[in-house]
Amino acid sequence: MFDSWSEMFVIALVALVVIGPKDLPKVLRTIGQWVGKAKRVSYEFKRHVDDMVRESELDEVRQQITAATNTDPGKYVENTIDPDKKLREAIEFGGEELVNVKLPENAPVNAPAAPTTPPAPVPGKEPQP
């Protein structure tokens, strides 16, 4: 709006001539009060908009918490980890034989698998005791 000091000087000179030196301080004070009111109104508007944004974000979080508490925790975790069910399909397609394996009742869970046959001897080498 005001690009240089020369424009400001011309406006101040015209205001001094038109308004007069006696009323110029009153006019400047009134203009200052209007500018202050405009700033306060804009600040209030900004604050209300920020409050609405904060409330909408809180509503989204509230909905997520409600969804998490109303659903089965296993399904919620499964949907969070694998929302498009591609991992489940890959496991079900490729690991069917692993899913149906049953361990003996007395088998320890963390025990290493015992070899079923001894290693074959290497020709030309004697086995070491």
Each domain of the chain, given as residue ranges in start order, spans 25-96
Residue 43, pLDDT > 90, answer yes
pLDDT digits (tens, 9 = 90+) for 66-110: 876 776 767 767 777 777 877 777 777 665 555 555 666 766 656
What would the two tokens of residue 65 be?
């918490």
Predicted TM-score (pTM) above 0.75:
no
Give the pLDDT confidence score for residue 47 in this predicted structure. Answer: 92
